[in-house]
Amino acid sequence: MASAFPCRSLGERMAMSSFDVLPESQTLSVPPGSEPSPQMPVFEVRDVFYRYEGVTALEGLSLHIGRGQRVALLGANGSGKSTLLRLLDGLCFPEKGSIAFFGEPLNPNRLAQDEFSFAFRRRVGIVFQNPDVQLFNPSVFDEVAFGPLQLRWPKERILQRVSETLEQLGISHLKARPPHRLSAGEKKRVALASVLVLDPEILLLDEPTASLDPQSASQMIDFLVGWRGGSKTVVMATHDLDSLEDIADHCFVLANGRLVGEGSPQQILGDQALLARTHLLHVHRHLHDSGEIHSHPHRHRHCHEP
Ligand SMILES: Nc1ncnc2c1ncn2[C@@H]1O[C@H](COP(=O)(O)OP(=O)(O)O)[C@@H](O)[C@H]1O
Ligand SMILES: [Mg+2]
């Protein structure tokens, strides 16, 4: 059965966004006097079900994401991480259950309201796993300037923010290049720059280091760890257990669209049974001097001398 609320493409989302009808000064996220309490979760996901044309992706998922939390979504391929990120970004909606954003329902009716939609899009940014779905401008500069232009920022401000953001991500030298002719790692940085240029308060990242070479992956991690001194809310789907303690302070483990584990990176990394059950350990083969090949589940750890 087709889902009642199929995921929208970025282009459709742009078309339905209110960027072109509301001036930037109208950034009201919450009416004056009703600033949410610091305890109010950024996202509250309650008993959410989602299906793609008969394929169940999420099945009764409930979780909270607090303000300023850096959350890792862990789980095997197909466990529902990307679907959850799309739901949190309001690109698709639960078939059953609900999602609240700072206590306000995140549903098609709310997002059809310009005021709510505009405020939501200003506060939440998403970077997809595949940058090709995110990049559509003729040059890197145009790509990164696109959001600010839609918001009708003054020209000087656009030039300054784009140049700062390109600098931060180490891609200033690419600014005249067409995004679709860049390497996978370069495209990832451009996609991230096109979101960070607007300085979102909440960042949703789908496997930011996937398909990057080790050095680019490590630069990406360094950037994300240092971004705004860790003050922002970040929700990141990842398989990168090595960086977990650096990039996250809370983890949710998904399997078959359900929450099967939750805790600090230390707790999750210490739970070998959970990691094995959810296919997060990989098998390493060693050739011993005797000629015997021995394999066992393993994950990499790096130890630093004190
Ligand atoms: N566009 C789609 N059409 C049909 N099924 C999909 C689609 N996208 C994802 N799925 C299915 O939904 C489930 C969850 O997928 P996904 O959220 O992409 O998981 P993950 O990101 O953890 O790999 C999987 O069974 C997957 O095959
Ligand atoms: Mg995914």
Number of the ligand 1 atom closest to the C-alpha atom of 7: 1
To test the pocket of ligand 1, the residue of 77, 82, 128, 253 to mutate (highest count of ligand atoms within 8 Å of its CB) is: 82
- Hey, which residues does 101 pair with through a beta bridge? 43, 104
Note whether 175 and 139 are within 8 A (CB). yes
To test the pocket of ligand 1, the residue of 1, 52, 53 to mutate (highest count of ligand atoms within 8 Å of its CB) is: 52
* pLDDT tens over the chain, length 306 residues: 333 333 443 433 343 333 333 444 443 344 434 556 667 999 999 999 999 998 999 999 999 999 999 999 999 999 999 999 999 999 999 999 999 999 999 999 999 999 999 899 989 999 999 999 999 999 999 999 999 998 889 999 999 999 999 999 999 999 999 999 999 889 999 999 999 999 999 999 999 988 788 888 888 888 888 876 767 999 999 988 988 999 999 999 999 999 999 999 999 999 999 999 999 986 556 666 777 766 655 554 444 444
- The whole model's pTM is what? 0.85
Q: Output the residue whose Cα is nearest ligand 1's atom 15.
A: 78
Q: Output the residue whose Cα is nearest ligand 1's atom 4.
A: 52
CA–CA distance, 87 with 106 (Å, rounded to integer): 9
pLDDT at 26: 41
Q: Is 238 in the pocket of ligand 1 (CB under 6 A)?
A: no
Q: Is 81 in the pocket of ligand 1 (CB under 6 A)?
A: yes
What 187-190 contacts at long range (C-beta under 8 Å, 24+ apart), as own/partner pairs, is 187/131, 187/132, 187/135, 188/127, 188/131, 188/212, 188/216, 188/220, 189/220, 190/131, 190/135, 190/140, 190/143, 190/144
Q: Are strands 70-74 and 55-65 parallel, antiparallel or unpaired?
A: unpaired
Q: Output the residue whose Cα is nearest ligand 1's atom 20.
A: 78
Q: Is 51 in the pocket of ligand 1 (CB under 6 A)?
A: no
Q: Output the residue whose Cα is nearest ligand 1's atom 25.
A: 78
Q: Output the residue whose Cα is nearest ligand 1's atom 7.
A: 52
Q: 39 C-alpha vs ligand 1 centroid, how far in Å?
A: 32
Domain 10-280 sits in CATH at: 3.40.50.300
